[in-house]
Amino acid sequence: MFLSTSIRATLAGFLILNPALAAQSSGGSDAGRDRPFFRTEVDQVVLYAAVYDEDGELVSGLTSEDFAVSEDGAEVEITYFGQDDVPSTSGIVMDKSGSMRAKQDLAHRATKLFLALSHPDNEHFLIMFDDDVNLEEDFTRDPEDIRDMLDNTVVGGGTALYDAIYLALDKAQNGSEAKKVVTVFTDGEDKDSYYRHEELLEKIARSNEVQLYVVALLDQSLSRDRGFFGVFKSQYDKLRATVDSISGQSGAKVYFPEELYELNDVFRRIASELRNQYRIAYITPNSLTNGGWRNIEVRLRNPGAKKLTIQAKKGYFGGPEKTGE
């Protein structure tokens, strides 16, 4: 597939980016809270973790003593801990392909609910896609700007999902807030992207700062036939597995609502999670600058008592950031 002129221009605008490393303050714990960046020159690693009980409800009130963090198998000391409701750079990526025509109103209504429930000081942006990708609203502190763009959407065309996410990750990384989130809504399979699935997965893994949420309202009419012995993946299973892999190592989540009426609840849950995450920082013991992958494990010291589960980033690339993407 060849890129259209507009997406080539968009790619050029997003990818020729080299943000300067923010200066690190030495002024106590607030400095760490204000600048939680994954960067070569900084040995502080910042994670966001959500804890759920057996009923799927968020758990508040835990302390640093309830958590243990390891990097590459070695437990590290937690240097900052808090359940902080802080603003974020929050990107919304919205499908406007032809298949969205009958779903657009409810999808946009759920997105507006998400905006209303998000932190009031968030920095927003909006990317929309069909077989092309467009930055419809640049960084803004006014959610009304996003709502206006949603109200003026014209659907039609194909689905360049991977390109839209790729560009959103770049855009989010250049936001002014330390906490960075991208929330994606799609109803279909990628068919028109320049970037391949494998390239997107690598991009996600290297976008250390960004939490990526995906809401996928897949076609329920897709075949679920797994063969005579039930050992093969059905058409639906394959598409779900492909979409499920997109959030990858980001520490966020993929949601698969089956009906449109479920969207409000899904977007409400994402907004609530983002405002109730635990923020955890530690100093990496790894001084190597080879750009290698570093595994992170965040666990609860006693999860069994209340049957708690934790959702957090699985790792990051240390050392020099990869160039030439």
Tell whether 129 and 240 lie within a shared domain: yes
Tell whether 46 and 134 lie within a shared domain: no
pTM of the model: 0.81
Q: Flag whether 252 is in a domain.
A: yes
Judge contact between 266 and 248, C-beta under 8 A: no
**DSSP-assigned letter for residue 42:** B
The whole-angstrom separation of Cα 275 and Cα 122 is: 11
- Expressed as residue numbers, the domain containing 134 is 86-275
pLDDT along the chain (325 residues), means of 10: 39 38 35 40 83 92 95 96 95 95 94 97 97 96 97 93 96 96 92 93 89 87 63 73 78 88 96 96 86 91 82 83 48
Q: Flag whether 325 is in a domain.
A: no
Tell whether 160 and 265 lie within a shared domain: yes
Tell whether 75 and 90 lie within a shared domain: no
Tell whether 180 and 217 lie within a shared domain: yes
Q: Flag whether 24 is in a domain.
A: no
Tokens representing 301? 């010291």
Handedness of CA 203, 207, 208, 213 (dihedral sign): negative
Tell whether 179 and 286 lie within a shared domain: no
Give me the helix-helix angle, 104-117 and 263-275, nearest 10°. 20
Tell whether 155 and 71 lie within a shared domain: no
pLDDT tens-digit map of 276-308: 999 999 999 987 777 788 999 999 998 776 789
**DSSP-assigned letter for residue 232:** S
Nearest CA to 143 out of 172, 123, 165 is that of 123
Report the DSSP pairing between strands 123-129 and 133-140.
Answer: antiparallel
List the helix and strand counts (H, then E) for the chain: 8, 14
| Identity at 2, one-letter amino acid code | F
Tell whether 184 and 217 lie within a shared domain: yes
The whole-angstrom separation of Cα 112 and Cα 116 is: 6
Domain of residue 235, CATH code: 3.40.50.410
Tell whether 177 and 64 lie within a shared domain: no
pLDDT tens-digit map of 127-149: 999 999 999 999 999 999 999 99
**DSSP sequence for 194-208:** SS-HHHHHHHHHH-T
Q: Flag whether 101 is in a domain.
A: yes
Q: What is the pLDDT of residue 305?
A: 64
The whole-angstrom separation of Cα 131 and Cα 156 is: 9
Judge contact between 298 and 281, C-beta under 8 A: no
Catalogue the long-range contacts made by 264-270 (C-beta closer than 8 Å, 24 or more residues apart).
264/109, 264/110, 264/113, 266/110, 266/215, 267/110, 267/111, 267/113, 267/114, 267/117, 267/183, 267/215, 268/113, 268/114, 268/117, 270/114, 270/183, 270/213, 270/215
Q: Which residue has the tokens 């409400």?
A: 268
Q: Flag whether 28 is in a domain.
A: no
Tell whether 65 and 121 lie within a shared domain: no
SS3 per residue for 109-166: HHHHHHHHHCCCCCEEEEEEECCCEEEEEEEECCHHHHHHHHHCCCCCCCCCHHHHHH
Q: Flag whether 29 is in a domain.
A: no
**Taking CA 239 as the corner, what is the angle to CA 187 and CA 124, rounded to the nearest 5 degrees?**
40
Tell whether 107 and 177 lie within a shared domain: yes
Q: Flag whether 22 is in a domain.
A: no
Q: Flag whether 18 is in a domain.
A: no
Report the domain count for the chain.
2
Tell whether 269 and 310 lie within a shared domain: no
